[in-house]
Structure 1
Amino acid sequence: MSARRQLSFDDLGTPLAEATLVVVDLETTGTDPAADAITEIGAVKVRGGEVLGEFRTFVDPERPIPAYIASLTGITDAAVAGAPSIRTVLPMFLDFTGDAALVAHNARFDIGFLSAQAAACEISWPKPPVLDTLALARSVYRRDEVRDHKLSTLARHVGASITPDHRALSDARATVDVLHAIIERLGPAGASTLEDLVTAHRRATPTQLRKKHLAADLPAVPGVYQFLDAAGSVLYVGTSRNVRTRVRTYFTPAETRRKVLDMLPRAESIRVIDCATPTEAGIRELRIIAREKPPSNRHGLHPEKAHWLRLGPGSQGLRAARLAKSEADGSAQIGPLASRHDLEPLRGLLMDAILGRAASLEGDSARTLGEAGDSDASPRARIRRAMTQDPSEVLDHVATRLRSHVEAGRYEEAETLRRRALLFLTAARRASRLRVLAEVPLLVAARASTEAVIGGQGWELLAVRHGRFSGTTLVAAGKDPLPFARSLAMTGVGESELAAPLCQGYHQEAEILLSWLEGEGVRTVLVDGSWQVPARARFDPEHLARRFTRTAPGEEA
């Protein structure tokens, strides 16, 4: 194992005076993160009681704002007209927050919306520490001191300089004053670090306290950790850039996941696999979960099981498939999908867009597609083109129907259709990226690295074979990375034997690698065959928004 400095428990806390906090508040079209949208984001960045900056913007919810919401917040359809979409705003907000912890009053609501929107836009959510001033206030201000724990009540009680008014930035500013008042209350009780504040309203369970010693001697390195029972069987697998820091949280009040709390009584030891990079750790975690199938892990247990929508060759129509197959016979597939329940809506959308609504309802689409032939203008060729190359025909169809629904006041139908179109774009985009990577026999790429083990600067090299992880290494600054790349090219040869179309059976691993390869500053060092970063723009949801806009009266078609 690499000789790396192991942090003591005292090293792991961030003093509150040095902690950067971003206090955020949202205005939305409703209360359901899965069904409603954000209309405004306001945030204040603070450190040590000093305001470092503010962030505020309207967000186009891409749907009408309910009248009662507009009357409550004062945010109308006219106010958000021309505002950027959440796909544009969210990266800007994440750039503003950086590595800061997030603070919100009733954080489950605000952070729930932000993380849900990140998932919908396929933007990586950083999972920052979160402080909930509502939960903290309930532990600090008892009912004999305040009538309730609403933000307006607390702001008035602590003498906040801003009165909350259901507008994002005003409410965020008021929450800052409430937060500082809470910190003043908790300081004498020993809350001196960010970690203390995160868990101030909770208590560790007796089992957590009894098992805390299991984290005492773990290394502070990137790697995979495995909780083992008395017989050495794997109970749970996780990964972290700093194993010791991460595992320590399992024995604190910050850990509230039921699957972990139920697992801890059986845990008797923790095994660590030291990894060169976080990317290697993520891949090894997936492979161990797939092999060991730990009872307390859910995600990644069965990577071989997936749901695809497949356009079969010849007379075969659109149908569900569990395995991605070669597309050399003229077939095509999109996915993998999150649920088998997504298959029929997607199939209906494609058939409706290409064959027409009446034909799609006849139920004999396979025969219709088979008789149509394979000319470029045939329905079958058009469906294949929409699935693999150009979704324009489907998006134009959806935009026209959306406009019809909206003008008729059928907003629920419009939202259902919009979600279905976004589901199609997501599935097609995933398949296009996996398709490209799966076809590359060998790729060795490099990006700048600041890992401490190589002196703080240098190169991280990654080798990929047909979308499978082949190897990685770190190269210190001043050394030629090419010999290291050639050495990596000699490793993992057996991975090629496990290659599959569209990375079938290991798509989760491939998507980790794609995320790395699509990052800034990545350079191709060695490649067998041809490689270019997969084009995602063709399946960008923005295309649907633009097409919908063009259907408005007076707009150019």
Structure 2
Amino acid sequence: MPAVPAVPAAPSRIPRARHRQLSLDDLGTPLAEAEMVVVDLETTGTDPSSDAITEIGAVKVRGGEVLGEFRTFVDPHRPIPAYIASLTGITDATVAGAPDIETVMPMFAEFARGCALVAHNARFDMGFLRAAAAAIELDWEPGVVLDTLRLARLAYGRDEVRDHRLGTLAAHVGAAVAPDHRALSDARATVDVLHAAIERLSNRGMTTLEDLAGAHRRASAVQQRQRHLADSVPSAPGVYQFVDDHGAVLYVGTSRDLRTRVRTYFTAAETRRRVLDMLPRARSITTIVCATPTEAAVRELRIIAEKQPGANRHGLRPEKATWLRLGPGREGLRGARIARDESDGSAQIGPLRSRHDVDLLRGLLTDAILGRGAAFERTTGMGPSGEHHARLRAAMLEDPAPVLDHGADRMSRLVELGRYEDAAAVRSGLETYLAAARRAQRLRAIARCPLLVAARPAPPPIAAMRPGWELLAVRGGRFAGATTIGADGDPVGAARALASTSTGESELVAPLCHGYHQEAEILLGWLEGEGVRIVLSEGSWSQGVRARFDAGALQERWSARLGWDAGDGAAAPPTGTDPGAEP
């Protein structure tokens, strides 16, 4: 089930502070202005290291008003235990055909971008979200996190409620929705509990987002001593950098509101060890104001890749990506550090997660195209014949069907033999292949487009303003400019102005966006969003019709082996567990 678009709701205003007036020098975000995403998860169990998410429900709120909702099932790629299915009503059939976490997690991260996260017993939900992000190598870390369980314990004593479970609290505050162990219902109930707790706690002087996040803690002496660094930071979208005495960059981040975000580093809400260790060495904070959040995200990537700041979770080195390359002629399949032009008959897929994936995919493609007995290609260095080379190239660039048919046949035979772990390993290899080919397909297409200027509706920066347009210019997959215009502005004129700038980016374009693929993927995410319209273009931006490098293609092949219709709830390919075993 796809994410549900924004749904307006009747306002339920968060009360403003009664006991003190906020001034420009106060640290923190007033609660009436804070955007929060209240999230709830359903999972296959309680351990983020071994269990998986089956459903995500989230509600975005600001000032007591609902701004939007997000809901989707997630295929956990493992059986759902019977007691979990009984509790939630989510069964294996429910999640059959649902997107996997590799698709859902980036969507949720975008939905929650720039917002505080709220959950009831937040440690549970944040643990699963962090584990999901790490599993797909998504560079995601929640900012301010509020736990309604902790807030409710502060707001309501045992003389008022018998316990602080979500159901008890929802009934006590008169929530409009009763929690029922389904993600969106529980998230909606949590919203009402949150607002009731805020109303109670605001009377005790807790009037900012950071007040609530640090209700159980106090800012450290270093944070209090260094908070003056935020004084000159503007309230605008952009990139911020913590800099030491020698001008070295210690940490880089981005925000839709630089001043509000930077201030949180000097409150009790900031608990990340790498950030707290960096603060004593910081002597200034420099900022780059950007036209749009997309521009800020790209600039952040470029700065991290260039400066390699130690306090960021890991430095980005896109130039060290690993690819699976089929050379021209009879060179065969091998790992490569540089993506090259493919006009000579070569082909590449990737970037891959590691060198281990090179051997995995080389074996899978060789077995599928040349046959299991063709191991000589891998061991002797002899390349494939002209016919086999053409088939390998087609499987990497155009049509995954031969590889998926081969994999589905192998899984079917292994399942018949009861070798479920081996069947799951085959499935994992196929998913790695599809992801690598899909990634290369998207990068290849955007790299070949000399210029693309697109527009999409942009939310107004001020509530009283009418929505306008956000424009983005891309040259060969590289960021070339961004701007915003009002609803009455001329998108074509703005697009032409963007096209005349940043022409130097064309000189840095590389095949498959080598050396800047993370940047290209940010831009692709923007271009593939809802409401995007192409305004100007040079060349073409297109992908092959047959090249379905996605999980749905694998599901169809597996369903065909079982003689089922993939649209009728057919079972997912094996996940490494005996489907007939007791939970």
Q: Equivalent pairs: percent with the same residue?
A: 63
Local SS of the residue matching 1:336: strand
Name 1:210's counterpart in structure 2.
Answer: 225
Supply the AA of the counterpart residue of 1:395.
L
- Which whole-Å deviations, capped at 9, do the CAs of 1:325-359 have from their partners, x for residues lacking one? 11112111111123333322222322233233443
CA distance in structure 2 between the partners assigned to 1:442 and 1:40 by the alignment = 39
Instruction: Select between 246-255 and 194-203 the one with higher mean Cα deviation.
Output: 194-203
Distance 1:207-1:146 versus aligned 2 partners, 3 A rule = farther
- Which whole-Å deviations, capped at 9, do the CAs of 1:146-202 have from their partners, x for residues lacking one? 9998778x7699799999886657866886787577557745542234443233233
CA distance in structure 2 between the partners assigned to 1:431 and 1:131 by the alignment = 39
CA distance in structure 2 between the partners assigned to 1:505 and 1:407 by the alignment = 45
Name 1:228's counterpart in structure 2.
Answer: 243
Distance 1:229-1:141 versus aligned 2 partners, 3 A rule = same
Task: State the 1:220 CA deviation.
Answer: 0.7
Task: State the 1:264 CA deviation.
Answer: 0.6
Q: Which of residues 471, 489, 498 is equivalent to 1:488?
A: 498
CA distance in structure 1 between the partners assigned to 2:440 and 2:204 by the alignment = 54
Q: Which of residues 20, 24, 38 is equivalent to 1:8?
A: 24
Alignment of 1:143-542 (within 5 A): 183=198, 186-360=201-375, 363-364=378-379, 366-367=381-382, 369-370=383-384, 372-373=385-386, 375=387, 378=388, 380-406=389-415, 408-450=417-459, 452=461, 456-532=466-542, 538-542=548-552
Q: Greater RCO between the two (CA within 8 Å, min separation 6)? A: 2
- Which whole-Å deviations, capped at 9, do the CAs of 1:281-313 have from their partners, x for residues lacking one? 222222222332323235454221111111122
Instruction: Select between 396-405 and 38-47 the one with higher mean Cα deviation.
Output: 38-47
Task: State the 1:219 CA deviation.
Answer: 0.7
Instruction: Select between 419-428 and 142-151 the one with higher mean Cα deviation.
Output: 142-151
Supply the AA of the counterpart residue of 1:348.
G
CA contact (8 A) 1:42 1:56 kept: yes
Instruction: Select between 257-266 and 198-207 the one with higher mean Cα deviation.
Output: 198-207
CA distance in structure 1 between the partners assigned to 2:262 and 2:291 by the alignment = 18
Task: State the 1:550 CA deviation.
Answer: 2.5
CA distance in structure 2 between the partners assigned to 1:39 and 1:531 by the alignment = 35
Name 1:4's counterpart in structure 2.
Answer: none
CA contact (8 A) 1:442 1:527 kept: yes
Supply the AA of the counterpart residue of 2:237.
P
Instruction: Select between 512-521 and 166-175 the one with higher mean Cα deviation.
Output: 166-175
Local SS of the residue matching 1:220: coil
Task: State the 1:533 CA deviation.
Answer: 7.2
Local SS of the residue matching 2:351: coil
Supply the AA of the counterpart residue of 2:243.
L
Q: Which of residues 527, 535, 544 is equivalent to 2:554?
A: 544
Distance 1:160-1:336 versus aligned 2 partners, 3 A rule = same
Name 1:26's counterpart in structure 2.
Answer: 41
- Which whole-Å deviations, capped at 9, do the CAs of 1:195-219 have from their partners, x for residues lacking one? 4323323322211111111112211
Task: State the 1:467 CA deviation.
Answer: 1.8
Distance 1:113-1:354 versus aligned 2 partners, 3 A rule = farther
CA contact (8 A) 2:240 2:285 kept: yes
Supply the AA of the counterpart residue of 1:381.
A
Local SS of the residue matching 1:461: strand
- Which whole-Å deviations, capped at 9, do the CAs of 1:407-441 have from their partners, x for residues lacking one? 55544444433333222222111111111111122
Name 1:3's counterpart in structure 2.
Answer: none
Task: State the 1:493 CA deviation.
Answer: 2.8
Distance 1:235-1:123 versus aligned 2 partners, 3 A rule = closer
**Over aligned residue pairs, what C-alpha RMSD do you find?**
4.5
Task: State the 1:71 CA deviation.
Answer: 6.9
- Which whole-Å deviations, capped at 9, do the CAs of 1:499-529 have from their partners, x for residues lacking one? 2111111112222222222233333333232
1:131 maps to 2:146: yes
CA contact (8 A) 1:139 1:201 kept: no
Task: State the 1:536 CA deviation.
Answer: 10
Q: Unmatched 5+ residue regions in structure 1?
A: 1-6
- Which whole-Å deviations, capped at 9, do the CAs of 1:375-414 have from their partners, x for residues lacking one? 3xx2x32222221112122222333333444555544444
Task: State the 1:483 CA deviation.
Answer: 4.2
Distance 1:40-1:523 versus aligned 2 partners, 3 A rule = closer
Supply the AA of the counterpart residue of 2:31.
P
Local SS of the residue matching 1:327: coil
Alignment of 1:40-59 (within 5 A): 40=55
CA contact (8 A) 1:46 1:52 kept: yes
Distance 1:326-1:298 versus aligned 2 partners, 3 A rule = farther
CA distance in structure 2 between the partners assigned to 1:160 and 1:142 by the alignment = 17
Task: State the 1:224 CA deviation.
Answer: 1.7
CA distance in structure 1 between the partners assigned to 2:300 and 2:114 by the alignment = 24
Supply the AA of the counterpart residue of 1:213.
H
CA distance in structure 2 between the partners assigned to 1:473 and 1:330 by the alignment = 39
CA distance in structure 2 between the partners assigned to 1:455 and 1:168 by the alignment = 34
Structure 2-normalised TM-score? Answer: 0.77
CA distance in structure 2 between the partners assigned to 1:178 and 1:490 by the alignment = 52
Name 2:6's counterpart in structure 1.
Answer: none
